[in-house]
Chains A and B, each alone.
Chain A
């Protein structure tokens, strides 16, 4: 058994795909490449594929990470890269493939934060953005509710800055630990912007 780690970009073609469907896309991609993906034991065996940090539906990702277990004695990373990159897979652009120890802790537990670029699509609501950001960052706590649970958004925001005004574009770094994940839509809502009127690009996942 070998475990490989793939860094890739999720581009426009797979932007509106949810987490489960993304899993399916990878399964089929690997099957087309004739890579022998390992399956879990049990009554309903599942392919051993782990996304480091599922990308929300509607988001683009510039540097996503996925781990895959293959039933090979040894992996020749170049061969695997060749098998995948010679195939067309709309929406996935592979940057890098590495081999990692099979018993390495799950990527999910190692991710601590994520960086985003957010481009606002509407013209209204644009004035005084900088002031609103300053105001938001000055707050000690931003109490919000998600699925009926109260939480404080403020400590989840590591950084937030305005990159451009025409169009309005932000860069932000948000916590991405299990149980403490900041969502950029929530930040936009706090800024008084319509969270549906934005293009979200996750640019990087940070390992702690």
Chain B
């Protein structure tokens, strides 16, 4: 019987690898290979684009891409860690609401955020590298708060208490206890933020203007605008290689760093001076993060010279800007994002299990979709999915598939650190105390994983809701999502159109906050105390 079980678990382990690999092969490698082949194969022979890779313009673009991403990542970590601390270590009224609100910036379409930034920033700053960095911080704070916070929440308070007893000062405790314990989650979050900023598109295009370009914007420029597929493919390969290298380095760091073991949610009520610190951090961070959304809410309520709800009620009526009444977009977004979340979890959970048990190659492969240019992938979809049974070019099903590809790394990244940190001794202790294996799963391990799982689902949903770059390439005009509808409205003159765009932004923000709140409640409430 023992042998049967081992065989079964070997089969199970294989299954955790097959599904993610098959998904990536069909929906990522194949289309990308099709477009790279179109650009880099001439008459059946590979045409190696050395000239593109060594050109000085390529070097300049690559350098700018690299340093802005590195600086953005560092700034995001600095900005997000206090909030992650307050939200993960302490229980206070409104905590889950704050956690939900923090997710809002992350899903706002870049055009919308850029609009808000243009309105908020003083004239000289509005189109500079500072605007780019600030916008990147604004977008990505949620990633750090979520991923690091989910990990931080499980760390045992007694470690700090012990350090304090041994005479460590508060600063000492943060530096010598907190940082090493959090290191794997920090590396995990930093690598996602870095990739996001490295492949940033809308922010660079709008806030940077024609003067700044990253590899991603340059690929788009070469492929979609100039139709130079050779240059685009060469830059696409360069970007993929850079992303793969970054993922490898961060993965190595993450493992090397070890980190602390987790024992459920260690959050407690703040006491004494902590109360002031938590209040300052939470209110201060929220205040800064709220500025652009509040600007959007105000604009959505502005009707002529006064205020009103006209732009919201107009969402029920047909308009020339869309082929359906705007409220359809809300329905479509919810449907597509639910499907995309389900796909991302279906593929991402086995993948996370495989990665946590040491399949490093898969880890890199899963992160690559974040590093592939949406324009190249969109072109690849057009080339690859043109025949039954995968004639997806004009099918709405392509939308959640494309979104799931982008959401997948978030699922994996949220689950892997928690899976790695599961304490074997807990399972053993429960077994010794007489718990059946099923009981161990239900009573010990699922509760420990509930929070990371909720985070994974929430992030996947949020990412799919806000996804724009890939969606716009594959979506059908009669199935617009909310970000696509916002984009269409912003593309037309007149107050009713810009008002509808702002109203939809507000709807999108509300949706994300609601979904984040619900997913957290539903999963975390069930935790046995």
The answer to whether A and B interact is: no
